[in-house]
């Protein structure tokens, strides 16, 4: 499960979309280095021919599933063509721009967080599915990150990692002209592999959602630990 990420430089992520002369920015979100489920965060999607940035809650639950299944913050790649996710795969594909995500290792009570990012420090484009119908986005009608488990997490082999695209493949994912099945195959075949990432230990304070500052994504001096 991917349950925390770092999203602090949206403008830089958007600058890699060379086909976009202008975009509609409806986001009011501030930079955040410790994004957690239920928070409202910017997602990129296509509306007509325009790229739009909207703030959505992190978490999705189909209306018909309320009381039956919990709100999901992740959508398993191997299940996105199934009944639950297929409507969003066809009509609700979006991208969550990010600068990194967090994984934890170690025993319960002493887990060590790691900040995972592209080795070249380029922005991350996280594949996501969202519900865009409501006039006002509410908890449970937001987005879920697509995750894969083919090789586990980057530092935790038992974890699932988000599907991360380049800007070019993110553009294809957003294209409303491609089918859901084509989009799913794109996620399976074009997600960036482990060799494209790097990671370092960060302060355990990132485990508390009340902490939001840039220091959370700063490497710690391991010798002091």
Hey, which residues are catalytic here? 2, 103
DSSP assignment of 138-205: -TTBSEEEEEE-SS--SS-TTS-EE-EE-HHHHHHHH-TTS-HHHHHHHHHHHSPPGGGEEEEE--GG
Residue among 202, 213, 211 nearest 105 (CA): 202
CB 145 within 8 A of CB 76: no
Distance of CA 68 to the CA centre of its chain: 25
- β-strand pairing of 24-25 with 50-57: parallel
Question: Rounded distance, CA 81 to CA 15, Å?
Answer: 31
């Amino acid at each position: 499960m991917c349950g925390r990420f770092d999203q602090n430089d949206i403008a830089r992520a958007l600058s890699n979309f060379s086909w976009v002369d202008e975009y509609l920015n409806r986001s009011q979100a501030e930079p955040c280095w410790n994004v957690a489920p239920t928070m409202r965060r910017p997602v990129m999607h296509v509306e007509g021919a325009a790229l739009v940035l909207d703030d959505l809650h992190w978490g999705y639950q189909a209306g018909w599933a309320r009381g039956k299944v919990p709100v999901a913050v992740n959508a398993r790649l191997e299940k996105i063509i199934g009944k639950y996710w297929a409507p969003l795969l066809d009509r609700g594909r979006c991208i969550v721009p990010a600068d990194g995500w967090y994984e934890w290792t170690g025993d319960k009570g002493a887990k060590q967080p790691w900040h995972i990012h592209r080795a070249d420090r380029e922005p991350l484009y996280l594949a996501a599915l969202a519900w865009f119908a409501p006039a006002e986005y509410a908890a449970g009608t937001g987005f879920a990150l697509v995750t894969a488990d083919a090789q586990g997490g980057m530092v935790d082999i038992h974890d699932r990692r988000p599907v991360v695209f380049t800007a070019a493949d993110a553009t294809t994912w957003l294209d409303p002209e491609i089918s859901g099945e084509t989009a799913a195959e794109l996620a399976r075949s074009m997600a960036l592999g482990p060799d494209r990432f790097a990671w370092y230990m960060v302060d355990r304070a990132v485990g508390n959602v009340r902490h939001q500052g840039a220091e959370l994504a700063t490497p710690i001096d391991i010798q002091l630990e």
